[in-house]
Amino acid sequence: MLKDKEQTIIEVQQLKKSFGDDVVLKDISETVKAGQVICVIGPSGAGKSTFLRCLNVLEEPTSGKVLFEGSDLTGIKEEELNHLRQKMGMVFQSFNLFPNLTVLDNLQLAPLKVRRLSADQAQKQAHKLLTQVGLADKAAEYPASLSGGQQQRVAIARALAMDPEVMLFDEPTSALDPEMVGEVLKVMRDLAHSGMTMVVVTHEMGFAKEVADQIWFMADGYIQEKGKPEDFFAHPKTERAQDFLSKIL
Ligand code: ADP
Ligand code: MG
């Protein structure tokens, strides 16, 4: 998936999001370029999940624009939105696999129904993706028989089965037992190295340091500070970031 590195994949313009009187995102304007890996970090309640959900308009912004490859996702028809949204894979803390389907069927369902791949194409792709996430031998299993780490890797493979342009991750390892975090981060690291454009909300600072092109530090509904990981972690500029890092590192 070699892309023009200057190509803008997501552009957010003056994004604001309120829930009632609660102004959660105050004024965010940022761009994500092709192949970039952005790690969004910050304290609980900062608005990180809301921000991520605004990127694919799972939350409708109160004002501002979200452009995906140049198309404004705000205020468009549901059908058009769904079409564009297919190109944005999302992985949540909870894996949300279909419990009544095998791993293989979890991976084939949307490609068959939405992308209209042939049965043969969908099956080939599913096996390829299972190999990519290290679960080639689990195709016939049901989700309940897999560990949390394995289920999350299936969830990543399922998102990839839609052939997305960008992958959004919201704390994908937060619900996992510690010994399973590494296997999921490895899949994400490999994906980043393959050139996938990624926006990752995470508390895994080791991963962020190693894999991110940019850290976006969020607090109080703003991106307070952003920079290369080596700069941000060694020399955070804002007091908010210094305070946050002093508590977690
Ligand atoms: P983070 O992911 O950084 O912990 P969130 O985006 O989940 O932060 O939440 C930011 C704030 O927005 C919190 O105060 C939360 O209660 C509020 N919030 C998030 N989603 C909703 C919602 N659907 N309705 C009302 N308030 C919400
Ligand atoms: Mg969150």
Q: Hey, is 7 helix, strand or coil?
A: coil
Q: Pocket of ligand 1, candidates 16, 28, 48, 50: which has the most ligand atoms within 8 Å of its Cβ, to mutate?
A: 50
Q: Hey, whose CA ends up nearest to atom 26 of ligand 1?
A: 19
State how far Cα 47 lies from the chain centre: 15
Residue 112 corresponds to which tokens in the numbers above?
């068959």
Tokens 């084939």 correspond to: 108
What's the CA gap between 218 and 46, in Å, rounded?
A: 6
Task: For residue 56, report the distance from its CA to the centre of ligand 2, in Å.
Answer: 15
**In the 8-state DSSP scheme, what is residue 143?**
G
Task: For residue 119, report the distance from its CA to the centre of ligand 2, in Å.
Answer: 37
What's the CA gap between 126 and 123, in Å, rounded?
A: 5
Residue 152 corresponds to which tokens in the numbers above?
């999350």
Answer yes or no: are the C-beta atoms of 107 and 119 closer than 8 Å: no
| Close Cβ partners of 138 (under 8 Å, ≥ 6 residues apart) | 103, 130, 146, 150, 154
pLDDT digits (tens, 9 = 90+) for 100-156: 999 999 999 999 999 999 999 999 999 999 999 999 999 999 999 999 999 999 999
Question: Residue 98: CB within 6 Å of ligand 1?
Answer: no
Q: Hey, whose CA ends up nearest to atom 17 of ligand 1?
A: 24
Distance (Å) of CA 247 to CA 42, 86, 177: 11, 38, 22
Give me the chain's average pLDDT, please: 96
Question: Residue 60: CB within 6 Å of ligand 1?
Answer: no
Reported ipTM:
0.98
Query: The whole model's pTM is what?
Result: 0.96
